[in-house]
Structures are given as structure tokens and as C-alpha cells.
Amino acid sequence: MAKQNKNLLSGSPRITKVSFLGRVASVFQQHFQQVFSSFSELWKTPFATFMTILVLGVALSLPSVFHVLYKNTVHVTDQWDKASEISLFLNKDISEPRIQVLINKLELYSDIDSVSYISSHQALEEFKEMSGFSKALNYLDENPLPDVLIVVPVEQAMNAAGSKLLVAKLKREQGVELVRVDIDWIEKLQAILSVVVDIVIAIVILLLLSVLLIVSNTIRLNILNQRAEIEVFKLVGATNSFIQRPFLYAGAWYGFLGGVIAWLLTFGLVLSLRSGVNNLMGLYQTQFQISAMSIEEVAILIATATFLGFIASYISVKQYLVKIEPK
């Protein structure tokens, strides 16, 4: 009898324990399958899916376009925000020796790179050549133009703050009647840009909220359309986490694909503007190449869009899916 019992025990099925790594691999495999099954589920209604992704792409492209425009505008203003030359208009009665003394003094300034002198006679001759009124100017009794010193600041002082300090010092020099530097309009432009940035930030927030609403509403409709399937899953014992994962991944796919569309639209806009911007900068004899989004910026755009889609689907899942119970 003992031998028979031993044979029965040896022939009984053994319960094997699954290792920790096996369980982790099984979970990853399950998630992997649901990620791609949710993607294929989207294209069971291709037209509706494409329209949703296109709307998301347009909504997301506006913030990315604003970002590209702002980045290029800042790049241009950084180039313009240079006081490359400061013009010192001297008194009419200043003598040549006094001018040379002033030049020697200015060359000792630590924030001045070079000083060049343009006499009133030289300035008048240049004006005759540029204006085309040389014959009319010959009838003048005296030269109305003053002597001018052209001051070039060092690289560290070629900005709005540095040029203001330098201009304040130059105005105190004897023999200087007027100091001219074209930096005021740059400050006005920067003030306008700061206002525009605040407006753009408000618009971007509204657009991102619209993305959340679009994805959330789309996932809500998907949940309601699959209500019968969800009830069956719950009847056979499926957990809420198992049922909700495909909807979460679907929302992430909506965001991801919308982000890709946004990047393509932004890239196309940059390409279409490149030739026009190059022609415009050529008129001002300025070298500038409009830049598109970098790889890091594209990654941030798509990752943000994917995250927004995931959050929006999570809101819908928690709001509607958990309320569905089999009757």
C-alpha cells in the first residue's frame, strides 16, 4: 500500500513556481502586445482616426510654429543687439589738436576697441557722392557738417546695457556735442517681443487644453462604443487595469501621431519661408538662415504630445470605464 501511494504521488502533477524574471517578462510581453493591438485598433475606423490625428497635429503645430518663430526672432535680435559703432558729433569750434587729444583719451578706455576720425570736409565730400546734390552743395557758404569720431566698443560692451554705460561716459567728454547710437529701437522691439511672448504663452496653454479635450472625448466615445465588450471582459474576471490599458495606449498613440503631424507641418512651413527670408535678408545685406526645430526640440514636442494623449485618456478611463459594470 505504501508503495502504491508512493507511485500515486510520483505520478501527480507538480505545481511549478514561476520565477520573478519570468513574471516580469510576462508583464512586459502583455504590455507590448497591448501597445501594438491598440495601434491596430485605431485603424479599424481609418477616416475618423486620421481626422482626429490631423486636428491634433494642427493644434500642436501652432505652439511649435510659435516656438520656431520666437527662436529665430531672438536669433535675429541678438545679431542686431550690437552697438557696433557709436558716432560722436564734435563741437564746430573744436580745434584739430584738441580732437587728437580726445582721440588719445578715448583709446585708453577699456571698453573701446578703436576710434576713427572723420573730418567735416571728408564728411561733406562723402555726402556729396552719396546724395547726388554735389552741385547744389557747392553753393553753401560754409560746411554745415561737424567733425565726427566713430567709436567701436569692445565685444563685451556691444549690447544695450554696455553701450548705455559707454554713451553716458562719452557724453561727459569736453568737445562732444552729440552722441548717437542706434540702440533705442532694439529695446522697444524687445519690449514688444516680451508682450507677444506673454500672448503666445496664453494661446499655447489654450491649445494644449484643446488637445486634452479632443483626446479625452475621442477615448470616451471609444469606451462607449465598446461597452458590451468591456462588460464581457468583466464577467470573465478581467481587472480594470487590464481593460483600461488599451485605452491608455490608444490615447498615447493619438498624441504621438499628432506630434509627428505637428512636426511635419512645422518643418514644411520653415521650408516654405526659407527662400523668402533669404531674399529679405539679402536686401539688408545680412546673412541669416532660418532654423527649424532641432532633434531635441522634436523629441520634446512628440514626447509632450504623447504625454498629453496619455493623460487625456487616463481622465476618460477613470471617468467612464470604471462605471461600466455587467448587468
Residue 299: phi, psi to the nearest 5? -65, -40
- pTM of the complete model: 0.64
Burial of 61 (0-12, 13-18, 19+ CB in 10 A): buried
Q: What is the predicted pLDDT for the residue at 141? A: 60
Cell numbers representing residue 37 in the block: 493591438
pLDDT exceeds cutoff 60 at 84: yes
Q: What is the DSSP string of 126-159?
A: HHHHHHS-HHHHTT-SS--PPPEEEEEE-GGG-S
Q: Does domain 86-182 have CATH number 3.10.180.10?
A: no
Whether residue 85 is predicted with pLDDT greater than 60 in this model: the reply is: yes
Query: Percent of the chain at pLDDT above 90?
Result: 14
* Least confident interval from 139-143, 168-172, 260-264: 139-143
**Minimum mean pLDDT range among 11-25, 123-137, 190-204, 270-284:** 11-25
- Is pLDDT above 80 for 12? no
Residue 113's pLDDT is: 83
Task: Using alpha carbons, select from 129, 64, 56 the residue that is nearest to residue 313.
Answer: 56
pLDDT over 60 (residue 131):
no
Which of 23-27, 111-115, 282-286 is predicted with the least confidence, judged by mean pLDDT?
A: 282-286
3-state DSSP call for residue 211? helix
CA atoms within 13 A on the CB side of 213: 7
Phi and psi, residue 90, nearest 5°: -90, 160
Q: What is the model's pLDDT at position 197?
A: 84
C-alpha cell belonging to residue 259: 506630434
Is the CB of residue 311 less than 8 Å from the CB of residue 216? no
Please state, in angstroms and rounded to a whole number, the distance separating the CA atoms of residues 27 and 25. Answer: 5
Query: Could you tell me the pLDDT band of residue 244, with boundaries at 50, 70 and 90?
Result: confident
Which helix or strand (DSSP H or E) is residue 258 part of? helix 240-283
Q: What is the pLDDT of residue 302?
A: 93
Q: What is the pLDDT of residue 2?
A: 42
Does the structure show a pLDDT above 60 at 221?
yes
pLDDT score of 3 more than 50: no
Q: What average pLDDT score do residues 48-59 get?
A: 91
Tell me the average pLDDT across 67-79: 75
1 versus 50: which is more confidently predicted?
A: 50
Higher pLDDT, 112 or 16: 112
Which own/partner contact pairs does 204-210 have at CB distance under 8 Å and 24+ positions apart?
A: 204/62, 204/63, 204/66, 207/59, 207/60, 207/62, 207/63, 208/63, 208/308, 210/59
Mean pLDDT of all residues belonging to the chain: 78
Q: What pLDDT band is residue 283 in, cutting at 50, 70 and 90? A: low
Residue 14 has pLDDT above 50, yes or no: no
pLDDT value of position 255: 93
Cell numbers placing 101: 587729444
What is the rounded distance in angstroms from the CA atom of residue 170 to the CA atom of residue 178? Answer: 9
- Residue 13 pLDDT exceeds 60: no
Q: Which of 220, 225, 245, 232 is nearest to 326 (CA)?
A: 232
Let me know if 273 is exposed, middle or buried by CB neighbors in 10 A (0-12, 13-18, 19+): middle
To the nearest whole percent, how much of the chain has pLDDT over 70? Answer: 73
Q: Do residues 91 and 146 touch, judged by C-beta distance below 8 A? A: yes
Question: How far, in Å, are 98, 114, 169 from residue 105 at the CA level?
Answer: 11, 11, 12
pLDDT, residue 16, reads: 47
Of residues 179 and 26, the one with the higher pLDDT is 179
Query: What residues does each domain of the chain span?
Result: 34-80+187-323, 86-182
